[in-house]
Every structure is written in C-alpha cells, then in structure tokens.
Chains A and B, each alone.
Chain A
C-alpha cells in the first residue's frame, strides 16, 4: 500500500466508524423512547387521576359501591368486583383445560397431533376480540338464558357474569396453553426418563416430576394470563350486561372496569371529576397489569435460567 492509498483507507474507515457510532446512537434513542413509553403512560394516568384522588380517599373510591357521577359519588367497588368475578370464572375453568391440553401436547401425543393443534391455537389467538363477542352473543348468551339459567334462577337475559367468564376463558386459552407447553418443554428429558425407568407411569411422571418441577412457572403463567384477562375489553363488554351492581349470582349482569372506560369515554369531558374517575380506572388496570407482569416475567426468566 502506498502512502496515498493508506490515507484514503484511513479516511474511509473513520467515516465508516462514524457511521457505525451514529447509527448506534439513533438505535439507542429509539430503544430508550420505546422503553420510556411505559413510564409515560404510567405518569400520564397518574397526573390525570390526581384530581379525584385529592378530593376523595383511595379507600372510599375502591371500597364503596355508590356510583352516581352526576352527584359526585364514585365508588369503584361494583366495577372491581365485576372484573374480579369475570376473571376468576375465566381462570377457574381454563386452568384445568389448558393444563391437560398442554400435558397432552408435550408428554403424550405424537408429532402429527401438534401439527394439527398448534394451527388451531394460532387461529384462536389471532381472532379479534369483536369476533369473540359476536360468537358469545350468538352462541353462549342463548345457551345460558335458555338452557343453563332456568335450572338455577328464575330469569336471566343471558348477558351475565358467567357468559363473560366463558367467552373470556376461551380468549386466554391459547395464551395459557402456549405458556404451559413452553414451560413443560423446558424440563430436561433425563428427569422424565429417570422417573419412567423406576417404573412410574407417564401420568405419575407428570404428576410427581413435571408438575412439581414447574410449579413456580405455572403460578407465573397463570398470573400472566390473569393480567391479560383483566384488560380484555370489547368481547367482555358485549356479553357482560353492563349493569352497575355487585353481581349477586353468576347469572346477573356485571360491569368490569375496561367496560366502564369504553362505555363512558365520550361523555366524560363535560365533568372534570368524572374524567378523572375514568382515568383512575385506567390507572387501576395499569398498576395491576404492571405488577402482575413484572412479577411473573421475572419468575419465568429465573426458571429459564435454572432449567436450561
């Protein structure tokens, strides 16, 4: 290399390094901005719900059930109970279903079964929430009001807490199954073989090795599914009945937090305190989802590290 060529090479390499650095800082900015979004959402919701938090105590807001925005009564209890009930119903029936399906997929089935089941789960996971709502109205609501409810209560419209729980359960089913499948697949094959070689059946192996080994991960997965279920809006809103009350039975209508937010957004601008109250409901959802997500993700990560 002559001296001239060397200088040119040096110049281009400086230019290339500069480009590398600049691209790096652009990418860093994008990364920071997108992470900042999380803080921004939290801060925005807190600022917006401050007016009502200054006026009333948090205790009064969360644990009283009088909801008369025009008179200034904001008791969130019916909505919180609505959310809890619907979520609990959804989790209670999907937990065994998803657990058994996931065990079947990882422990017992041949590969062609997976090839059929996974695309079906894909479809279930991809369907928009309104489609679930339409299905709920056309199938679950009539089933509840005509077939199921008459056995238990005198009259139900079918738009009930139970309906919402059923529809919501199906929506979180693919998430639960895929989390469980991932969890079970991470258990080393050696452990299963050790158990089988001692004469245990497959189910015994599942019960004493797999479920025991993955218990913390299962708790984390369910926590994640709960946080997903709590925020689901449109499908639940379409079938839950939207009645502001403490659900007395499974066949009564209810009014979960996201539905409150979705139904009353347009009119809230006329009353500043009302707007603040609705923002508080968004903040409650945000905080619950935030905490549940962080806890379960950290547990799942720790498991990933110890098992693999």
Chain B
C-alpha cells in the first residue's frame, strides 16, 4: 500500500478521535453537573428564600437568585431588543448594501462582542460611581443590556443580510416607504429575531463577571430598581467557595438549574431554526 493511503487512514483516525473528544467533554460536563446537582436539588431550593443559617448549611433555598436572574435577564432582553431591532433595520433597509458606514458599524459590533464581560462590568461600575449609584438591580440590567446588544445585532444582522433585495424593491415599487417596508422585512427575519433572543438570554443568564459589581448580591428579592439583586451564577460562585459541604451542594444545585435553562434554550433555538427555515423565501 502506498504511503499516502496509510497517511489518509491515520489522519482520519485522528479526526475521529478529536471529534469524539468533543463529545467526551460535553458528556463529562453534563454528567458531573447532573450527578452532583440532582441530589441537592429539591422543591425547597426552588421556592424559598435563604433562611437564617443558610450559609452554614441550614434551611433555605435559592429563590432570591432565581428571581434576581429572571428580573435582570427579562428586563435586559426587552431593552436589548428595543435598541437592536432599529439598528438592524437601519443597517439593512435604510443603508445601501455594501455601504461603508454599515461596514464600519458592523466592525464596531464585532469588537464590542469580543470585549470581555469583566471589562463591561468595570466600565459600568465606574459610571455608576460617577453618578453616585450603588450596586442595584438597575445597574445589573444596564450592564447586561450593554453586553447583549452586540450579540442581538450581530445575529439578527446575519439573517437580515440574506434578505433578497428584490423583495425590498417589490415593496418600494408599490409605493411603500422604507419605514413601511419594515413590515415585510420583520416577517422575514422573525426566526432570526427569535434565535438571537434565545442566544442573548443564554449569554445574559450565565454571565457572572459583569453583574458582580453592578447588581451585587442579596438574600431577599429586590422590590425596587435601586436594591441589589442576587443572580444564579454568583450564587454558584459564592457558595462554592464555602468550606461547608451542605452549602457547596447548593452551588451544584444552582449550577444544575443554570445548565437546565441553557439546554432548554439551545433546544428551542434548534426547533425554531428547523421549523422556520422551511417557509423562508430564498
């Protein structure tokens, strides 16, 4: 047998191995989180606030972190959508294809997307100090909104760029203005908006570095925007550093909740992409 066929076989073997390695990592992570998290997860964990001796292993749950995360993610997703949908329309409908301005803007969003969340956190924190604000729900919402806007814009823009120009022209030729054409565009990019939203929620709910200094941490559910709010990733982070095994187990439970949410989001994303890509006009 020629050497090149041996080489071919060996290389294919290596490729198979590396691909299996990826599965091994996914499997190991999911298995570890479920194995450690499931025994610690119970109804009390999901539905009650931390009790008196919570941090020495007594009764209580993670409701503060769950609700805090939901508040921050919910609000920042809505705010993110409000800001980024107009931007995507501007880039794709108002500006011409291949416009210089759009190209620079896209580069800026690429860079913004790459900036580490800890830098967002540090920046937002200095701004908050400048305005005399303390760590609060509002701070967390703002920093997470800033963090996910580039994700929103980038992933919606990717879909919107594939819009057939003919469709826009058909709309214009019927006498519609660009603003009115948006009604047509929004239907076409709706699945893109949905997947972008899921992606952003996933990133928003898992981020710990940015909320650490802006949202703070508390044992109660915030009742106003100026109160600090707990979040799930920080619940994992803080409780894992405790030396008491019972408290550490709660960290595993919180990690399992987070993982579950991320898995559901990624599954939903798949379903949406598969379902809607069928009736998309190419």
Contacts and interface: CB of A to CB of B under 8 A. Distances in A.
Interface string A122-139: 111011111111110111
Given A101-B22, A131-B29, A261-B122, A28 B114 contact: no
Given A24-B178, A135-B28, A258 B118 contact: yes
B205 interface: yes
B7 A203 contact: yes
Contacts of A38: 108, 111-112, 115
Nearest to A281: B122
Interface residues of A, number: 88
Contacts of B240: 133-134, 137, 238
Interface string A85-119: 00000000000111011011100110001000101
Contacts of B146: 37
B33 A134 contact: yes
B191 interface: no
A5 to B, nearest CB: 16
Given A124-B26, A278-B122, A131 B117 contact: no
Nearest to B265: A126
Given A20-B179, A34-B87, A35-B108, A224 B114 contact: yes
Contact of A104 (B19, B94, B179): B19
B12 to A, nearest CB: 6
Interface string B100-138: 000011011111101111111011011101000000000
A109 B4 CA distance: 20
Interface string A214-252: 000000000010011011111000100000000000000
B32 A139 contact: yes
Interface stretch (B48-56, B222-230, B251-259): B251-259
Nearest to B103: A301
B209 A233 contact: yes
A41 B28 contact: no
A233 B118 contact: yes
Contact of B236 (A23, A113, A130, A232): A130
Give the secondary structure class of B's interface: helix
Interface residues of B, number: 83
Given A203-B8, A230-B116, A120 B22 contact: yes
Contact of A282 (B23, B32, B119): B119
Interface stretch (A69-77, A147-155, A186-194, A286-294): A286-294
Nearest to B36: A138
A48 interface: yes
Contacts, number: 257
Nearest to A265: B213
Contact of B116 (A20, A101, A232, A266): A232
Nearest to A170: B25
A63 interface: no
A284 B4 CA distance: 48
A44 B206 contact: no
A228 B206 contact: no
Contacts of B120: 41
B170 interface: no
A17 B176 CA distance: 10
Contacts of A230: 116
5 contacts: A26-B86, A34-B150, A41-B123, A100-B14, A117-B19
Given A130-B237, A134-B255, 18 more contacts: A27-B94, A28-B94, A31-B105, A34-B87, A34-B109, A101-B19, A103-B15, A104-B15, A122-B270, A126-B265, A201-B7, A231-B114, A231-B118, A233-B209, A262-B209, A265-B212, A289-B115, A292-B114
Interface of A: 16-17, 19-20, 23-24, 26-28, 30-31, 33-35, 37-38, 40-41, 44-45, 48, 96-98, 100-101, 103-105, 108-109, 113, 117, 119-124, 126-135, 137-139, 170, 173, 177, 200-204, 206, 224, 227-228, 230-234, 238, 258, 261-262, 265-266, 269, 278-279, 282, 285-286, 289-290, 292-294, 297-298
